[in-house]
Structure 1
Amino acid sequence: MIAKLKPSPLKPVRHPDDDLTIHYPETDSMPLPDGRYREPLFVEVVSTLEAYLTLKYTDVEVSGNTFIYYEMNNPRRSVSPDCYVSFGVDVDAIMEQNSYIIWRVGKPPDFALEIASESTGRYDDTGKRDLYASLGFGEYWRYDSTGGRFYQRPLVGERLVNGEYQEFAIHEEPDGMIWAHSPTLGLDLCWDNGRLRFYDPETGEWLQNYAEQRQRADAAEARIRELEEQLRQAGIDPSV
């Protein structure tokens, strides 16, 4: 698959009132709330989406648990989604400033996802939802691996319409899988027995996480070695 651009990638924006001497840290170096529970979940989500989207597009930022700054010259005004995606941006410029500064990037993220936990669940559903809407985050998703202990539902997806979030239709399969489609990502988000998985309806394939990619690569390498050995036994040099 060849990486491609979405239309009209934005260039960094410079405002005359922007004080470039102010430092905007990537994180606050504080432990992740409920990190022992949440960290493996968001690492899998971010790495899976990053591997898929950066192969498909050259102008997409995929990150998680890093600060997004939204008030000029005020580094105290920040939010840190568990996962966010922004299309049509200058990725190198974002990397250079080591954080996502909305007024410099030129737009808010298109997609944000939060992973439920005991300490964050209520705020994710209320104050953070209101904040993301006010900032213009195009889609806001919440995923609860427990099946609804913290969000009352396993999966919630919403899109911003005239400044307010409206929920996507949620589907439930006979086997208990719950899913909804994200137009922004072009993927189905699926709650599958506690795990969040991503399905590409265009190709009919599941996105693979790192462990699954490694397993597939190992199987392919083992198959190559097997074929090479068969060639040697037949008196054929596989290196020729």
Structure 2
Amino acid sequence: MGEAMLTDDELLRYSRQILLAQVDIEGQLRLKRSRALIVGLGGLGSPVALYLAAAGVGELHLADFDTVDITNLQRQIVHDTASVGQRKVDSAASRLLAINPQLHVQRYPQGLDADSLAAAVAAVDLVLDCSDNFSTRQAVNAACVAAGKPLVSGAAIRLEGQLAVFDPRQAQSPCYHCLYGHGSEAELTCSEAGVLGPLVGLVGSLQALEALKLLAGFGEPLVGRLLLVDALGARFRELRVRRDPACAVCGNTHAQ
């Protein structure tokens, strides 16, 4: 992964984004050398994986213990009907490599416990939380804080979505726990409450955009801000989020 140049094929493949002054050759090289972990290959993880693979992120680590079900296909666009019954990491890897054969893929088909999650986070430059449950989000956040790795977090249910970036490398950045605390025991899932496919596509696409900005080094990442998406009214709202000095997860990480 230490290649110093782009090949002729890569220059052609990524030519439209290389034309952007904010990306250019240097930004594309940064993407080529980058590794990202995607936790969850469902409605959010599908557009995230597709866009990062297409954009030239060199290595994607895919984590999902589930298999493809026919009820997934309404929104989980990295999978198709022929994938039903397959492990999601295998279905997604096949699709991503068909889009970009130059991609390196690492698969985590089992649930990640504390040790394996810590190792998976330590092995990458950035983590995208595309999971669908609060306990996983808390565990991923804690691992990112401990490893000092930026986290792009997305969520969507019914007709509402949320997006934020937590970057423990920045002294003023909050973490997921600063914002949500211990959460609610009565948290609903999409299988219980429902969700519209284009909404998770929108939030996942924004997650991919934030990841590319962080990895290539341009723009203003969504750090210290929470983006709220109201799909029913086609409205976006932004809230400021401050780091909690007494946070049980990140409260002591910037004490030096």
Task: Assess same fold via TM > 0.5.
Answer: no
Instruction: Identify the structure with the greater strand proportion.
Output: 1
Q: TM-score band, normalised by the shorter chain?
A: 0.3 to 0.5
Larger RCO (alpha carbons 8 Å, 6+ apart)? 2
Q: TM-score, normalised by structure 2?
A: 0.33
